[in-house]
């Protein structure tokens, strides 16, 4: 049985520790930054309903598969996939699926750290009243000046990367578990406080209607595909993070129950973020569908003109930083675990090495917003015209590497891995629950992820 194997990196002290850590991995900028603005762009309630259905049919089955593979192998994604392929009677080439996840997580963190640095910087800008009574042009100018100065972006990128690597260097229980036990409850408490604040904004009921009342005339084919894609990406699937966290999961913990709880917690955070943001937007006569600038340009304007806006605006950006921090430590963990296992170095050495490399890659993103803003290395191709190095990194990871990783995880779990092995780990018996999971992962989920992949590369 795979559960008899032991990870050299240690394991979570309990099922709840794993749930907090995996939820922390899933909850990030995607929940508090991306989900509200794509919901606003795609008509609100109908989009949310499609998103929830996709979480159930795509997100949870793949999460169960990825956690199962991690716990079965008890190693880094690279070594886990190689070992499980051999165990299933196949060649070890499936290790490249592990490498795909490790590299994707590394590349994502290189630019994620820069964007998270924006949230960290905005904590202080909001706290010092920079946005108080600012005009729309003033808020936009503050943002433009901020990202246009490479020295400032470099400082916040460096600070956020240091915060991440200090946690990772301390190990599973001494670092990852201790921090998420503080971050996740803190994040939920701040969300509850901010929801209470939104309830007094005067437009709370309008925000709830927008978020939960489905008007299907506003949902488009593209909106459905965006909901499918976000349901997949929001759970941190396909990048090795959930697999390596699963390798630290105690053998007695139920994979199915923990996966469902993580998905529910992640979804709850996204919905609560919407309950915070949309009432504030409507109360200030702003548009919910303004796009990516909703967090860094629209909300500072709103907080700058509301009673108590300095305090609650600062709290909001602390919340955003917490969410980004809990995700960032999971993005680099697969690479650190791989280095420890395959090179025999200490965890501290591995964390410092990977942190420095990731920081260096992050310079590509830092300079993409200023001194290299006009540099489009693949601009000779129409599809990539005007795309900076940051745009290309984001496109490569989000549109190609992650859906490809998720698709291959589903194929391996349902078609390559033996039924006896997956039943052994999932502990669902041979009845309806196991057969439902197997059917979804064999047929429904791969087709859905393939559609997301084809849409992302603009084939459909």
Q: Model confidence over 83-102: pLDDT tens digits? A: 999 999 999 999 999 999 99
Output 9 or 287, whichever has higher pLDDT. Answer: 9
Looking at 369-431, list the stretches that DSSP marks H as alpha helix, in order from N- to C-terminal side.
389-395, 402-411, 419-426
Query: What pLDDT, on the 0 to 100 scale, is given for residue 306?
Result: 82
443: CB partners within 8 A, 6+ apart: none
Percent of the chain clearing pLDDT 70 (strictly above) = 98
Q: Which CATH architecture has domain 2-456?
A: Orthogonal Bundle (1.10)
How many distinct helices (H) and strands (E) make up the chain?
23, 0
Q: Model confidence over 353-412: pLDDT tens digits? A: 999 999 999 999 999 999 999 999 988 888 788 889 998 998 888 888 888 999 999 999
Query: What pLDDT, on the 0 to 100 scale, is given for residue 398?
Result: 83
65: CB partners within 8 A, 6+ apart: 409, 410, 412, 413, 414, 441
Output 202 or 319, whichever has higher pLDDT. Answer: 319
Residue corresponding to tokens 């304007």: 301
Dihedral over alpha carbons 257, 260, 265, 267 (to 10 degrees): -170
Query: What pLDDT, on the 0 to 100 scale, is given for residue 425?
Result: 93
- Exposed (0-12), middle (13-18) or buried (19+): which is 214, by Cβ within 10 Å? middle
Section 282-303 average pLDDT:
80
Which of 415, 405, 414, 388 is CA-nearest to residue 452?
405
Spatial separation of the C-alpha atoms in residues 118 and 120, rounded to whole Å: 5
Is it the case that residue 222 has pLDDT exceeding 80? Answer: yes
To the nearest 5 percent, what fractions of the chain are helix, strand and coil?
A: 75, 0, 25
Query: What pLDDT, on the 0 to 100 scale, is given for residue 292?
Result: 67
Say what the pTM is.
0.91
Query: What pLDDT, on the 0 to 100 scale, is given for residue 4?
Result: 65
Q: In whole numbers, what is the pLDDT of the chain averaged over residues?
A: 90
Which of 273-282, 319-328, 379-388, 409-418: highest mean pLDDT? 409-418
Query: What pLDDT, on the 0 to 100 scale, is given for residue 459?
Result: 56
Section 232-255 average pLDDT:
90
Query: What pLDDT, on the 0 to 100 scale, is given for residue 1?
Result: 47
């Amino acid at each position: 049985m795979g559960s008899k194997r032991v990870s050299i990196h240690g394991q979570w002290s309990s099922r709840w520790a794993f749930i907090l850590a995996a939820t922390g991995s899933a909850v990030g900028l995607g929940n508090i930054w991306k989900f509200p603005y794509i919901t606003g762009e795609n008509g609100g309630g109908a989009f949310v309903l499609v998103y929830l259905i996709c979480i159930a049919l795509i997100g949870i089955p793949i999460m169960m598969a990825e956690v199962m593979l991690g716990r079965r192998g008890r190693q880094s994604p690279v070594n886990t996939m190689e070992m499980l392929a051999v165990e299933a009677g196949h060649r070890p080439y499936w290790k490249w699926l592990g490498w795909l996840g490790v590299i994707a997580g590394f590349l994502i963190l290189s630019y994620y750290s820069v964007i998270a640095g924006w949230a960290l910087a905005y904590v202080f800008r909001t706290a010092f009243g920079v946005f108080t009574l600012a005009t729309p042009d003033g808020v936009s100018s503050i943002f433009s000046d901020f990202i246009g100065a490479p020295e400032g972006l470099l400082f916040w990128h460096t600070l956020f990367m240091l915060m991440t690597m200090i946690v990772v260097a301390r190990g599973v229980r001494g670092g990852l578990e201790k921090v998420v036990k503080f971050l996740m409850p803190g994040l939920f408490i701040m969300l509850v406080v901010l929801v209470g604040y939104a309830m007094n904004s005067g437009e709370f009921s309008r925000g709830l209607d927008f978020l939960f009342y489905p008007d299907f005339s506003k949902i488009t084919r593209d909106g459905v595909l965006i909901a499918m894609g976000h349901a997949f990406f929001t759970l941190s699937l396909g990048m090795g993070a959930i697999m390596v966290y699963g390798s630290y999961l105690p053998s007695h913990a139920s994979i199915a129950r923990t996966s469902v709880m993580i998905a529910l917690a992640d979804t709850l955070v996204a919905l609560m973020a919407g309950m915070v943001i949309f009432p504030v937007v409507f109360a200030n006569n702003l548009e919910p569908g303004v796009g990516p600038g909703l967090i860094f340009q629209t909300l500072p304007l709103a907080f700058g003109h509301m009673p108590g806006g300095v305090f609650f605006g600062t709290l909001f950006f602390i919340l955003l930083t917490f969410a980004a921090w809990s995700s960032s430590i999971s993005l680099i963990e697969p690479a650190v675990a791989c280095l420890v296992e395959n090179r025999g170095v200490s965890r501290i050495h591995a964390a410092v090495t990977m942190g420095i490399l990731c920081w260096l890659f992050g310079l590509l993103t830092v300079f993409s917003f200023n001194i290299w803003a006009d540099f489009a290395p693949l601009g000779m191709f129409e599809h990539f015209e005007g795309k900076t190095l940051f745009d290309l990194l984001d496109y490569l990871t989000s549109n190609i590497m992650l859906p490809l990783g998720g698709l291959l995880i589903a194929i391996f779990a349902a078609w390559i891995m033996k039924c006896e092995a997956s039943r052994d780990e999932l502990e669902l018996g041979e009845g309806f629950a196991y057969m439902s999971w197997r059917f979804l992962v064999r047929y429904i989920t791969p087709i859905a992820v393939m559609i997301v992949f084809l849409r992302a590369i603009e084939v459909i």
